Amino acid sequence: MTGRSELRIKLAANAQEAQPVRHALGAFLSAIGIEGVRREDILTAAGEALVNAIEHAYDGRPADTDEIEIFARQEDGTGLVIDVSDRGRFIELAERPGRGLGLRIARAIAQTVSIDTENGTTVRMIFTT
Amino acid sequence: MTSRSIEVIHLAGELDIARRSEISAALQVNGSEAGILVDCCKVTYADSTALAELLRFRNDAKNRQVPIAVLTGSTQFVRVIQYAGLNGVFEIFEHRAPALTYLSNAGKLP
């Protein structure tokens, strides 16, 4: 046993998947002692990264053939790290009218938000806990 | 003369990407309202897709000169509006009475 807490979930790029994944992440956060407003905010930020992957990463492609992964873990000296990865093309939400709010919300909550677009897209959010 | 009234739209539960069509259908303005109260007291979670629909609705209402007010319950909902930088875009109230007073004063009630 390493003592390291982590949660890894794979899901299809389907809007119906967002809520159960948020609930699972919420249970994980509670299990590692993150509660209250901080828990809600982290779920909000992670939810936005999920929405981004579900809504934009697989434009025009069948959702059931694709896969999104959310990987949350506590890292010593860093805090809580959450990666949301997909194999699609990242699309700046601001390119679309009325959109662009999701990343703004995530960036307002997380200490850092980075986007790696090599081999798909990974949005990494780091939260001090 | 046709009397105009304040209409109330109730939203509840978790407003996320899976419910975008439902939210969009609920948030409609036809221009005959004196004002619209969007009651979000039972909303437990809202994401950017819900905010985008609310923003679209607000713009539609503004174009038709129908005032809207948003009644909130969950602090997550209030915070997500703040995080999105939409403070001041919506008239937000914690209690129904002042929201209705605002709509009565801002709307087309005689």
B108: phi > 0 → left, psi -120 to 50 → alpha, else beta; which?
alpha
Q: Do B16 and A18 touch (CB under 8 A)?
A: yes
Nearest CA in chain A to B53: A98
Average pLDDT over residues B26-32: 95
pLDDT on residue A55: 80
Model pLDDT for residues A33-59, shown as the tens digit of each residue? 999 999 999 999 999 999 988 887 666
Q: Do B79 and A16 touch (CB under 8 A)?
A: no
Model pLDDT for residues A52-102, shown as the tens digit of each residue? 888 876 665 655 556 899 999 999 888 999 999 988 766 654 445 446 899
B-chain CB neighbours of A105 within 8 Å are 47-48, 80, 83-84
Which candidate, B12, B88, B33, places its Cα nearest to that of B55? B88
Nearest CA in chain B to A14: B18
Nearest CA in chain B to A110: B83
Q: Do A43 and B75 touch (CB under 8 A)?
A: no
Residue tagged 């809007």 (tokens): A15
> Is 80 exceeded by the pLDDT of residue B23?
yes
Closest Cα of chain A to B47: distance in Å? 7
Contact A84, A53 (CB under 8 A): yes
pLDDT on residue A63: 57
Q: Do B47 and A54 touch (CB under 8 A)?
A: no
| Residue A1 confidence class, pLDDT cut points 50, 70, 90 | very low
Give me the interface pTM, i.e. the ipTM.
Answer: 0.89
How many angstroms separate the CA atoms of A88 and B81, rounded?
28
Closest Cα of chain A to B19: distance in Å? 8
Q: Do B84 and A55 touch (CB under 8 A)?
A: no
Strand ordering across the sheet containing A79-86:
A6-11, A68-75, A79-86, A121-127, A112-116
> Is 80 exceeded by the pLDDT of residue B109?
no
| Residue B93 confidence class, pLDDT cut points 50, 70, 90 | very high
How many angstroms separate the CA atoms of B68 and A27, rounded?
36
| B47 touching chain A per CB within 8 A | yes
Closest Cα of chain B to A51: distance in Å? 7
| B83 touching chain A per CB within 8 A | yes
A-chain CB neighbours of B84 within 8 Å are 101, 104-105, 108
Q: Do B79 and A18 touch (CB under 8 A)?
A: no
B-chain CB neighbours of A99 within 8 Å are 48, 52
Higher local confidence (pLDDT), B3 or B67: B67
